[in-house]
Amino acid sequence: MSSSPSGALRGASPSLTPSRELLTANPSSTPSEELLTANPSSTPSEELLTASPSSTTSKPKVFVGMSGGVDSSVSAALLVEQGYDVTGVYMKNWSKDLPGMKCPWAEDLADAKRVAVKLGIPFEVWDFEDAYREKVVEYMLAEFKKGNTPNPDVMCNQEIKFKLFFEKAMERGADFIATGHYARVGERIDAMCPAEHKDLARAAWSVSEGHAASIRSPLLLRAADENKDQTYFLYRISEEALSHTLFPIGDMLKPDVKKLAEEKGLHNAYKKESMGVCFVGEVGMKDFLKEYIDIRPGEIREIETGKVLGYHEGAIFYTIGQRHGLYISGNKGEVNDGLPYYVVKKDLENNVVYVSKNLNDSNIWTRELKLTDVLMRGKAAGAMCPAEHKDLARAAWSVSEGHAAPVALPVLVRLRHRAPLIPATLKGDTLVFENEIKRPASGQSAVLYDGEICLGGGIIC
Amino acid sequence: MVMIYLDHAAATPVDSRVLKAMEPYFSRDFFNPSAAYLPAKKVASDYEAAKATIAHAIGAKASDLVITAGATEANNLALNAIFASRSGSQSPGPSPRAGAAMARAAALRNPPSQDANIALYLATEHDSVRKSAERCGGAEIVVDKFGRIDMADLKSKITDATELISVSLVNNELGVIQPLAEIANLIREIKFDRLRRGIKTPLYLHSDASQALNLLDINVARLGVDLLTLNSAKIYGPKGVGALYVSHEVKLTPSTYGGGQENGLRSGTENVPGVIGFAKAVELAHEHLNGNRKKYAELKKLLLSNLHGYELINKKHALDNFAVLCYNGIDAERLIYLLEEKEVYVSTGAACAASKGEKSHVLAAIGLNDEQIAGSLRLSLGETNDKSQILEAAKIINEIVGSEYGRVSHE
């Protein structure tokens, strides 16, 4: 870990973590200059710093995405309590029923609306169905057809919630948008940067904006509730949106959110969390794909022998390393030796899934992951880089601009939502791990962190 | 705070006398009516007697009824008449009666037509009718601004391919009563004309009377219907029980296959307590038919005279317990959530449509614009209401509507 940036950064990190007090502060209270790193929620805008909290005309305007769940409901309630001018918005992204499964959108909408009415705030439904189908669902289907396992939530945040929703809110005169995500926004200000890093911070700035004029940049930070942290799904959202985003429950623990919902009499305090695909409710991804992709059954072969062991429902359903759901009929001792088979390879062209009992198969384990569509949250990555990595910071920048640089950036990596952070080094667009890891499904994201800070990430090839 | 329930068109509480009548059949008299021993035979005869009670209330015989799990299933079964008349295959195991009907219908069968007007239904029908009819080439019949059938439109849409016309006796969102006898007369003329021209396509009249059984004196002969849907849940009986009256003219395909219960049309062990409860509810409804109408008419008058700022949507031909009010510029869904905090329960339209987030097709059909639809509340009165409740409800609704108007104008 000595090469990890988190150690080098520790000196700067206290000033990067938004303080708990500030996150719940009245938005119109004046933060002191020392607390420059506060969450933007406490400093809605320069003009507002001196505004009277009771003045209705100067209340910062927030559009909060309300899904009908407890997290976004409590978020809206907190914003109201903190004195914002709040409008609840239900984003209608998907409303189509699937066979045997009623899409829960209308029920979710009713839950969201009931909470909005209870809070006494205006409520609107914004229809993003067309964009969602085009940007999220079609992307997802295309990726599955290529044999990848895409993450629709990452795409939904990038394209819908923190793009279309953000843009529309801004058009409507919003100061902020807010969501019920478990994440925090920090602010990086180079004045707070240790003196020896100041030039570096400016360098990073000048790369991102062409000049060193601005001194503020938003940081995406992991949630206080490590168990619920959702930055894995948020790593691709734009800096512009993030700098106008509030995550009102980002510094809370889930049980406290539920408790608060109950205290506030929100009817959905104990609403069951949606499982399965975000936009198709309880239905599994498999059932969803069956509706949209023409799937052919095919052979399952043992990779070592090429022998046909069984048949599958469609190669796209399987991911490398998968152990369950393989229909392999064993009638020989060698098959029924109690050891499970793992998927080690997919041949989409011939619709063959290859399996192996060899847990050490090179397809399952890897020390390197090649990434594509790498997006570095550049200001953070660059500015936070310690002085001795100055060149590296520039290199990291150039990755985001399409010029892979053969330099090494030490990072912590999350390969799945809620998965543990693993130390690795980003070399160009390849992650090199200290130890072998089980290969994650291609199409999923590798999200990079430096301590609390989400540095960005990429799609696993 | 005592609950004030103004949504009797969505559900009614089970009458205590109904509950009492049902109770023995859950435990003491639990036997399968099809079993051979005497206690089971007694249950079977109680079940038949209960069916007879329901049937008599509409001027029919027990054997004319198919018991279903509610009105939606009954409506689906009724629309089956069309599929039955065009499917060539013989259904297995029907009763002799259904078999004879099948032979009759097979003899009368026309070559399948591509005409879309095979089933005609009122634009304001419940989805259980609309969606069933859409499966077989249905077309809507226009209604006027009160929600009454446009007879000229019906006439113009009936073709030689039309096999079924479905018009609810009382609409579930507006409470509007339809002139069924008039429609039946038209159908008789058309049938006569078809015979004269040698056209053998059958033509049936189906009506959903779910909302009407406790307020209108219903007689199938007088109404001239071939198929009639009944519902226990709206008349203080248990939920999940309904019935379809099927005249001898009509041939249906079974909805379930098995032991041949319900004339072979709906196999499955009988819901004995449900039907006993349904029969008791029908009996009570009939005892109080006139008293109910008078009581509800008075309560409705009291309610309307104490509410402010609304436009009455169902001004004419409405059942005595239905009031649809439009508060222009207000979002009625917000009113529901605000009223629920005062334990006043109302609705914006059919409960099932509202839960799907759809705007009411009924209010659209009578020509309301989107804003009027969004501002419309349905209040349906019933046994749980009295005068003091109605006055209290009016006061609360006025207050909340007033504050919402204030909020809207502030925005």
- A117 with B357: Cβ contact below 8 A: no
C-alpha distance from B230 to closest chain A C-alpha (Å): 27
More confident residue, A197 or B142: B142
More confident residue, B163 or A400: B163
- B357 with A114: Cβ contact below 8 A: no
Among A282, A266, A285, A264, residue whose Cα is nearest residue A274: A282
C-alpha distance from A114 to closest chain B C-alpha (Å): 6
Instruction: Give the whole-angstrom CA distance, residue A12 versus residue A3.
Output: 17
Q: With beta carbons under 8 A apart, name residues in chain A contacting B357.
A: 95, 105-106, 109-110
Confirm if B323 and B347 have CB atoms less than 8 A apart.
no
- Chain B residue closest in CA terms to A115: B337
C-alpha distance from B255 to closest chain A C-alpha (Å): 19
Instruction: Give the whole-angstrom CA distance, residue A341 versus residue A358.
Output: 8
Annotate A268-286 with DSSP letters as a single string.
Answer: TTTPPPP-SSTTSTTS-HH
Instruction: Give the whole-angstrom CA distance, residue B233 versus residue B236.
Output: 6
Q: For residue B168, what are the CA distances in angstroms to B74, B125, B185, B228?
A: 13, 7, 16, 9
* CATH number belonging to the domain at B16-286, selected among 3.40.50.970, 3.40.640.10, 3.40.190.10, 3.20.20.70: 3.40.640.10
Instruction: Give the whole-angstrom CA distance, residue B73 versus residue B56.
Output: 21
Instruction: Give the whole-angstrom CA distance, residue A226 versus residue A183.
Output: 10
- B338 with A107: Cβ contact below 8 A: no
Q: Report the mean per-residue pLDDT for chain B.
A: 90
Pairing relation of β-strands B65-68 and A430-438?
Answer: unpaired
Where do the domains of chain B lie?
4-12+289-410, 16-286
pLDDT of B255: 87
pLDDT of B328 above 70: yes
pLDDT of A50: 37
Complex prediction ipTM: 0.76
- A106 with B334: Cβ contact below 8 A: no
Q: With beta carbons under 8 A apart, name residues in chain B contacting A122.
A: 411
pLDDT of A315: 87
More confident residue, A335 or A124: A124
Q: With beta carbons under 8 A apart, name residues in chain A contacting B355.
A: 106-107, 110
pLDDT of A377: 81
Instruction: Give the whole-angstrom CA distance, residue A101 versus residue A98.
Output: 5
Confirm if A287 and A270 have CB atoms less than 8 A apart.
no
C-alpha distance from B358 to closest chain A C-alpha (Å): 8
Annotate B351-366 with DSSP letters as a single string.
Answer: HHHHHTTPPPHHHHHT
pLDDT of A42: 42
- B338 with A114: Cβ contact below 8 A: no
Interface test with A, best of B334, B401, B403 (most A CBs within 10 A): B334
Interface test with A, best of B335, B337, B347 (most A CBs within 10 A): B337
Lowest mean pLDDT among A16-25, A252-261, B145-154, B266-275: A16-25
pLDDT of A13: 36
**Tokens (6 digits) for A120:** 């006494």
Residue A123, helix vs strand vs coil: strand
**Average pLDDT of span A43-56:** 41
Pairing relation of β-strands B65-68 and B242-246?
Answer: antiparallel
Q: For residue B23, count CB atoms less than 10 angstroms from its CB and return exposed for 0-12, middle for 13-18, buried for 19 or more.
A: middle
pLDDT of A416 above 80: yes
pLDDT tens-place string over residues A78-101: 999 999 999 999 999 888 776 666
Cα R_g (chain A), whole angstroms: 24
Instruction: Give the whole-angstrom CA distance, residue A279 versus residue A288.
Output: 10
Confirm if A190 and A205 have CB atoms less than 8 A apart.
yes
Confirm if A168 and A241 have CB atoms less than 8 A apart.
no
Confirm if B84 and B266 have CB atoms less than 8 A apart.
no
Is domain A5-263 classified as CATH 3.40.50.620? yes
Q: Is the pTM of this model over 0.80?
A: no
Q: With beta carbons under 8 A apart, name residues in chain A contacting B356.
A: 106
pLDDT tens-place string over residues B332-366: 999 999 999 999 999 987 655 555 567 889 999 99
DSSP A160: I
pLDDT tier at A2 (50, 70, 90 boundaries)? very low
A432 CB within 8 Å of a chain B CB? no
Q: With beta carbons under 8 A apart, name residues in chain A contacting B411.
A: 122
Q: With beta carbons under 8 A apart, name residues in chain B contacting A109.
A: 357
- Range among A144-153, A279-288, B397-406 rated most confident: B397-406
Pairing relation of β-strands A422-427 and A430-438?
Answer: antiparallel
**Nearest residue, CB atoms, A106 vs list B337, B341, B356:** B356
pLDDT of A278 above 70: no
Cα R_g (chain B), whole angstroms: 22
Instruction: Give the whole-angstrom CA distance, residue A158 versus residue A457.
Output: 13
Q: For residue B68, what are the CA distances in angstroms to B53, B75, B180, B252, B276?
A: 16, 10, 23, 14, 13
- Range among A185-189, A213-217, B37-41 rated most confident: B37-41
- Chain B residue closest in CA terms to A265: B341
Among B403, B381, B373, B372, residue whose Cα is nearest residue B293: B381
- Taking any CB pair shorter than 8 Å as contact, residues of chain B touching chain A are 333-334, 337-338, 341, 355-358, 411
pLDDT of B102 above 70: no
- A105 with B357: Cβ contact below 8 A: yes
pLDDT tier at A322 (50, 70, 90 boundaries)? confident
Q: For residue A375, what are the CA distances in angstroms to A43, A234, A378, B179?
A: 28, 11, 8, 68
- A122 with B333: Cβ contact below 8 A: no
pLDDT of A214 above 50: no
- B337 with A109: Cβ contact below 8 A: no
**Average pLDDT of span A353-374:** 89
- A117 with B356: Cβ contact below 8 A: no
pLDDT of B407: 85
Q: With beta carbons under 8 A apart, name residues in chain B contacting A117.
A: 334, 337-338
The catalytic residue positions of A are 156, 278
**Nearest residue, CB atoms, B337 vs list A95, A106, A117:** A117
C-alpha distance from B302 to closest chain A C-alpha (Å): 29
pLDDT of A18 above 60: no
Range 122-141 of A in CB contact (< 8 A) with B: 122-123
**Average pLDDT of span B84-110:** 46
Helix (H) or strand (E) holding A77: helix A70-81
**Nearest residue, CB atoms, B334 vs list A105, A109, A117:** A117
Fold classification of B4-12+289-410 (topology level): Aspartate Aminotransferase, domain 1 (3.90.1150)
The CA-based angle A155-A161-A167, given to 5 degrees, is 120
